[in-house]
Amino acid sequence: MRIASRFLLAAAGAFASVHAQTSNELANDAYRDAYQEGYQQGFRDGQAQAAKAAQEAERSAPRPLACRRIIVLGARYGADGNQCDATGAIAHRVNGRSSATVRADNNLCGDPSPGQGKDLAVDYGCGDPGFCGREIRNASASENRSTTLTCPP
């Protein structure tokens, strides 16, 4: 009986030792997996924050001076298909400025529609399209009213 007891105690001790070792290995594996997942999540979060910060810096950075200057691309003044080209008159007044107000009246290019209410439509950009982008802005006004053309800072 003593031999059987010793054997059982030895077997129980060996089992406990193996079980403890297996539990430690499982705990180490779980720790390593959790650490690795946390590291990867932190890396992803850091990348997202860096991308957001870069976008914010790009939006808030002042545009180059050359991209803050009006360039008139086209202007039409008139009504019901009777229009005149007001591009030259408006471009002469506003090109190169960062902001300008234009009045829609017959001094732009004559009276293309006598006796009718007329409208002015202006298409313009801010700076050289090859350097500053191809965003086309629009401004309009009814006869004897004004419109403002603006390039953002």
Per-residue HEC secondary structure of 2-50 comes to: HHHHHHHHHHHHHHHHHHHHHHHHHHHHHHHHHHHHHHHHHHHHHHHHH
CATH 2.60.120 fits 65-150, yes or no: yes
Which uninterrupted H or E stretch holds 55? helix 2-60
Contact 83, 76 (CB under 8 A): yes
Rg of the Cα atoms in the chain: 38
Higher per-residue confidence, 26 vs 133: 133
Residues 8, 6: Cα–Cα separation, whole Å: 5
Question: What is the spatial distance between Cα 124 and Cα 14, in angstroms, rounded to a whole number?
Answer: 86
Give the pLDDT score at 26.
Answer: 73
Higher pLDDT, 96 or 29: 96
Query: Averaging pLDDT over each range in 35-39, 40-44, 50-54, 143-147, which range is the top one?
Result: 143-147
Residue 34: CB atoms within 10 Å: 10
Q: Residue 114's Cα: distance from chain center in Å?
A: 46
Residues 6+ apart with CB under 8 A from 119: 77, 78, 79, 104, 140, 141, 142, 143
Is 65 strand, coil or helix? helix
Taking residues 117-140, report their average pLDDT.
Answer: 91
User: Phi and psi dihedrals of 32, rounded to 5?
Assistant: -60, -45
pLDDT of residue 6: 61
